[in-house]
Structure 1
Amino acid sequence: MAFVAPKQVKAAEQQPTYTIGTDVTFAPFEFANAKNKYVGIDIDLMKAIAKKENFKVVIKPVGFNAAVQAVEADQMDAVIAGMSITPERKKVLAMSDPYYKSGVVMAVKKDSNIKSLKDLKGKRIAVKTGTSSADYANSIKKKYGFSVVTFDDSNNVYQDVTTGNSVACFEDQPVMQYGIATGLKLKIVTKPALSGYYGIAVAKKSKAALLPKINAGIKALKADGTYDKIVAKYLGNGTIASQKKKNAATQDSDHSFIGLLKSNWGTLMGGLGETLILTIVAIITATIIGILIGLLGVVPNKFAQGTATTFIYIFRGLPLLVLALFIYTGIPSLTGTKIPAFVAGIITLTLNEGAYTAAFVKGGIGAVNVGQMEAARSLGLPWGKAMRRVILPQGIKIMIPSFINQFIITLKDTSILSVIGLLELTQTGKIIIARNMEGFKIWTMVALIYLIIITVLTWLSNWVQKKINA
């Protein structure tokens, strides 16, 4: 057994651990390779900084918007995601020293006749929300007379152009070069504009402890040549041919439907597993909350009924996306208390689906003939016992099909939680597409998985209804 000096053990134990958010679709800075492991300039750089400055990192690929919002809400310690340093961002986040210089370029379809910004008049262009390229596009749209549509991830930006919905897109130069080198059917038609630098954004709570380490690490890695090696690993000498050679190993080798299914089966099943866990936990908690609120709504007490009605009105009326973001980033910003993404997802589904469950529980009980309660009370049964023994057995018979249908709805609603970074089935599809750019094939796989599960649940619902009505 190797001897470890006490000082070394103590140093290892004292290493602080920081949670770092990053994007899911921003190659070559962060992306999943052919083995579905996260790699890229940003990933390697962050790990190298941590090693150099003696701290540990947990890198979470949650998407650009989710990462930035999590850092603003002190849910994470920092975000590294090809994030341009801007005066606006420096007002709300602590930005590190710059580590990469980039510029914004415009790309169009390979066979497009769009050659310059002047050709965009009356046309639509696509950008990724929250990025410098989006800011640049919005700053010149009046001058050149085009409209802008925004998407949450890069792949959807590119797909909007390749399908012809938009005539062009704006993107950071190295990202667009990498995409073209790895099969994206676009071409760059402008020189880089709005040149700026990428930095690492640090949360306010971690500024004092983490920011000096990051800056020292960037400086040290540039001085000893490690930084140049990391960049060259993904970009080569900067030419398209060099990028193709350097990054061939990161791509799926077989782009047929079966080939993509085989190479990504494990990842898709991992996403499905997360979806099913979210669904099962949420449906249990939502059912409990829904039944309690539903029963509260039929109690002969105006305050209780008002409480139930208010709960149903609020959480059935709020869009699920808004509710998820409010719980994951809004509440922590107010209270300063972290809410893990999984917990935030469960709370979101519980409140939303619980409100719908409460509504049909209340409706199911209300559907029982009012004479049933009157008859039970006339026989001397108190309200509670009459409800438990007479009304609920009949109401449950009416409610059961709705419970199963709500399970199906909850399963589908989990896809919205990708906005807070949960790696469920939909988010998994985005990650895979970011690597291979095979949007149609991957989304077909995701759709088929959803349809198979929903079909099984629909059969179960029909079978239960037949048994009840038999």
Structure 2
Amino acid sequence: MNLDFERIMPSLPYILEGIPMTLKVVAVAAVIGIVLGIVLSLMKISRMKPLKWIADFYTSIFRGTPLVLQLMLIYFGSPQLFGVQIDAFEAAFLSFGLNSAAYISEVIRGGINAVDKGQREAALALGVPYSSMMLSIILPQAFKNILPALMNEFITLTKESAIVTTIGLADIMRRSYIVGGETYKFFEPILFAGLIYYVMVMILTVIGKLVEGRMKRSD
């Protein structure tokens, strides 16, 4: 084995500087995914069939095509479609957010359907408006049930964010690849990048368990 970790040691801070970029992409994409996911889930359980068809079609598109393809269509296709080159960061969080919304909508829909129908009927019988019922009664209970699935989606989002290196965004993976090109040692910096992702995923896992435990104690 021809490993030389000492050679990449001076470049480790440079790779670590990619963490904020990765976290920004994941954070913005997660917000888009949750907000749009809630809207799509409500459309899917709506009695208005056109809304349900639109939401199902949206989900089928983003779940049925590779995420890297969606990323490249948004980034490389924007000049041809809109005459403007979308920034790499914007293309990253848009593609990840729109993709994540498709999966999160299914998770939320399942959580809403798992809530006892009696509570919905009781709220409607008391004259509670539909929007207030969903926001104040149904969705909070649904989120308690789907928290593990949501955390799993955020973990997946964090790991899959590495593909933004394909559009040149200076995230963790891109920086480790640059270090590999400069030192002619690719295994070591990429392994270090893998360690960073592993630590971030473990932190997310711990946070998820803490939040889940607190929500259970509040029942």
- The one-character-per-residue Cα deviations of 1:338-387 (angstroms, maximum 9, x if unpaired) are 21111111111111111111121111111112232223223333433332
Q: Which moved more, 1:265-274 or 1:382-391?
A: 382-391
1:355 and 2:102 correspond = yes
How many residue pairs are counted as aligned between the two chains?
217
**Equivalence for 1:325:** 72
Which of 398, 401, 410 is matched with 2:148 structurally?
A: 401
1:279 and 2:14 correspond = no
**Equivalence for 1:257:** 5
**Equivalence for 1:293:** 40
Query: For structure 2, which runs of at least 5 residues remain unmatched after alignment?
Result: none
Structure of higher RCO (CA pairs closer than 8 Å, 6+ residues apart): 2
Find the aligned partners of 1:304 and 1:446 in 2 and give their Cα distance. 42
Find the aligned partners of 2:82 and 2:140 in 1 and give their Cα distance. 43
CA contact (8 A) 1:401 1:464 kept: no
CA contact (8 A) 1:291 1:361 kept: yes
CA contact (8 A) 2:114 2:142 kept: yes
Query: For structure 1, which runs of at least 5 residues remain unmatched after alignment?
Result: 1-162, 164-184, 186-254
**Equivalence for 1:365:** 112
**Equivalence for 2:177:** 430
**CA displacement at 1:258 relative to structure 2:** 4.4
Find the aligned partners of 1:329 and 1:443 in 2 and give their Cα distance. 26
Which of 183, 194, 211 is matched with 1:447 structurally?
A: 194
1:339 and 2:93 correspond = no
| Secondary structure of residue in 2 paired with 1:326 | helix
| Secondary structure of residue in 1 paired with 2:17 | helix
| Secondary structure of residue in 2 paired with 1:388 | helix
**Equivalence for 2:208:** 461
**Equivalence for 1:315:** 62
**Equivalence for 1:157:** none
What's the RMSD between the two structures over aligned residues? 2.1
Structure with more of its chain in helix, by fraction: 2
Q: Determine what percentage of the aligned residue pairs are the same residue.
A: 31
1:386 and 2:133 correspond = yes
1:317 partner letter: G
Alignment of 1:6-405 (within 5 A): 256-261=4-9, 263-405=10-152
Find the aligned partners of 1:381 and 1:278 in 2 and give their Cα distance. 38
Question: Structure 1 runs of 4+ off > 4 angstroms?
Answer: none
- The one-character-per-residue Cα deviations of 1:187-234 (angstroms, maximum 9, x if unpaired) are xxxxxxxxxxxxxxxxxxxxxxxxxxxxxxxxxxxxxxxxxxxxxxxx
Q: TM-score, normalised by structure 1?
A: 0.44
CA contact (8 A) 2:162 2:172 kept: yes
| CA gap 1:258/1:467 in 2 versus in 1, 3 angstroms | farther
2:8 partner letter: L
